[in-house]
Amino acid sequence: MIAHLRGMVFEKHPNRLIVDVAGVGYDVQVPLSTFYTAGEPGTEIALRIHTHVREDQLSLYGFATGLELMMFERLIAVSGIGPKLALSVLSGIETRDLAGAIQRNDLARLTAIPGVGKKTAERMCVELRDRMPKAMAATGAAPSPGETMRDDLVSALINLGYHRQVIDKSLDKLVNSAGEQRFEDVLRAALKELSRA
């Protein structure tokens, strides 16, 4: 699975980017927030990637931040929300506003997003309310570095095929003791821990 791409913007469209990585062009679907932060063709870009595999198709979804990727992955876990609708949601509302709206059960705000009806908004609130980072949803504040690193690690390990419950167990002790360690070092320690499990 592809979890990260770093290369040059080859082509830029509102819902997709073509990223040139060492001569190979990756077609990556993106929300508008990522599109706006991407530079013009020829500039360097780094994206967090969700690889979506179906029987007949492999699609890449790219995000400028770990928070966007985390919200995308939580959205597609809701019944009735596929990757296209999840991208539409992220294009229609700021990530932090989305978390706050879900936490407050603000159906009016959620149904204002193109493509989201009342039933879908209700499902989002019911299924995601308890899965929002508490600090972010309550205050609109940025998640702590520990929360951000944990979310990035979970995403990377899920892309490597590990199950969420196993990941959570091994990360509980690693992230708390991570301190100022780099992401790569904690990921390596997590992989070592998971190989023992």
Residues 21-45 have pLDDT tens digits of 999 999 999 998 888 888 899 999 9
Question: Whole-number mean pLDDT of the chain?
Answer: 81
Higher local confidence (pLDDT), 181 or 144 = 181
pLDDT at 63 over 90: yes
Average pLDDT of span 170-177: 65
Inform me whether the pLDDT recorded for 166 exceeds 60: yes
How confident is the model over 128-141, as a mean pLDDT? Answer: 58
The encoded tokens of residue 173 equal: 């002790």
What is the mean predicted confidence (pLDDT) over 94-123?
87
Least reliable range by pLDDT among 61-75, 111-125, 170-184? 170-184
Give residues with Cβ within 8 angstroms of 153, minimum separation 6.
Answer: 167, 171, 174, 175, 183, 186, 187, 190
